Each structure stands twice: as structure tokens, then as C-alpha cells.
Structure 1
Amino acid sequence: MDIMTIVQIGVGLIFLYLVYDAFKPVKNFQQLTEDEVKNKIKASKNVVLVDVRNPYEFKTNHLKGAINLPLPKIRGKKVEIPTDKEVILYCQTGIRSKQAAKILRKRNKEMPLAHLKGGLYSWKGATSTTNRKK
């Protein structure tokens, strides 16, 4: 086996690990359906909805009562996440909210975390659109 083959195998293994790490499940993390999110919000006042999309996306459409903490700011530790409440993350498809959950889980292993499975695409109506000036 020549050195190039060994390097290619090494690069391939690193790539496979990075793909696995990006998609592996988050520990102690709930994936909730729309109905489960609605029930949690109705049942408890200790729930906070966090929209991890960019501000322009949030302004266009968001769930009623949600706060906007964009994923890049979460990555950069530029926001404070409430640790005394159950945090339910969401985005457009569920990918960014899962990334945010991984970041938050590394910082606080005990924080109650969940996300809206499928993001806003899975939410059937009941979204709040802000009034834009025309």
C-alpha cells in the first residue's frame, strides 16, 4: 500500500466521522410533534419557544410567543438561553434547531431541551405573521 492510498483512506475516515457527528442524535433531547408542542405550552408556563432562524425569517413568520435567538449567535455564545424553563427549539425544517440543541447540550447537560420535529414545515397553520407596512 502506497502513501497516497493511506492518505485517501485517512481522509475518507475523517469525512465519515464528520458526517456521523453532524447527524448523530442529541442525548436527552426530545423530538416533538406539533400536537406535543401545543400540549406542553398549554400544560406549563415553564416552557419557552426559541426560533433559531435568522431575524428576517422570524419577522416574516413565527410561532406565537416565540423568541428569536439565531443559530449563529448561539454558536458564538452571544445569547443567554433560559435554563430554568424547558426550551423548545424550532426552525424551518428542524435541521438548525437540532444543531442548536447539540451546542446547548454541550454547554448544559441538564437543560430540558426539545425541538419541533420537521420545523415550521410540519406545523399546520397556527403561525403568527407580523404585519408589514406597505
Structure 2
Amino acid sequence: MGFLSAIFGSKDNTQLKEAIEGGAFLVDVRSSGEFASGSVKGAVNIPLDKIGSQLTKFKGKKNIVVFCQSGNRSGQAKSILEKNGVQNVINGGSWSNVNQCVG
């Protein structure tokens, strides 16, 4: 383990990869303009400010992966979903990180 990963922890994408391989609902929470400039294949765009009004889209999903540009907005989205009773939500971090895990 490298010095920096010993301090900050290493990014383990095992859970993320397993969720994606299992057909997770992929949600890009960036703005529609950001989404239009490129995203993960198969992802839907539900911007962070619309999450609360789009809760029905998340009901009954086995696994949900939320992501954005850096992981900040997706962390907020995960929190909103969990506060509204949506379970099995994974913060995938950046869209490029999630994209690397998509087969």
C-alpha cells in the first residue's frame, strides 16, 4: 500500500462494480447540460435539484448508483434518497469513475 493510500485510503470499487454488473440503476445527478456533454452508457439524468420530486423513479430498484462530476452532488443525492426511504444507494463518485466500472 502506498503512503498516500495508507493515509487517505484507497478507492475500492468492488461494491460499485458488483452493483453495475447486477444491473444497477445508474443516475447522473449533474445538470442536463453536463449530462449532454458525456456520461455513462445506460445512465439516466436526474439533476440533484430534481431528486426529491422524482422519488418514484427510484422505488423498487435493487441497486442504485448515483454519480456526478466529483462525488459531492452524488453524496447529497444519496443522503436525500436515504432520508426518503430509498435503500441500496451507492455513491459512485465521479462519472469517470463509474464509467471505468461499466463493462
TM-score w.r.t. the length of structure 2 is 0.72
Q: Who is 1:37 aligned against? A: 16
Q: How many angstroms apart in 1 are the aligned matches of 2:68 and 2:41?
A: 14
Within 5 A, what are the aligned runs for 1:57-96?
57-74=34-51, 77-79=52-54, 80-85=56-61, 86-96=63-73
Question: Gaps spanning 5+ residues in structure 1: where?
Answer: 1-30, 128-134
Q: CA RMSD in A?
A: 2.5
Q: Deviations over 1:43-102 (max 9, x none)?
A: x23x1000000000001010000000000111xx32133222211000000000000111
Q: How many angstroms apart in 1 are the aligned matches of 2:30 and 2:99?
A: 18
Q: How many angstroms apart in 2 are the aligned matches of 1:51 and 1:106?
A: 19
Q: Is the 8 A contact 2:29 2:47 kept in 1?
A: yes
SS in 2 for 1:88: strand
Identity of aligned residues (%): 31
Q: Tell whether 2:25 aligns with 1:48.
A: yes
Structure 1 counterpart of 2:53, one-letter code: K
Structure 1 counterpart of 2:19, one-letter code: K
Q: How many angstroms apart in 2 are the aligned matches of 1:123 and 1:82?
A: 18
Within 5 A, what are the aligned runs for 1:6-25?
none
Q: How many angstroms apart in 2 are the aligned matches of 1:32 and 1:67?
A: 24
TM-score w.r.t. the length of structure 1 is 0.57
Question: Gaps spanning 5+ residues in structure 2: where?
Answer: 1-10
Larger radius of gyration: 1
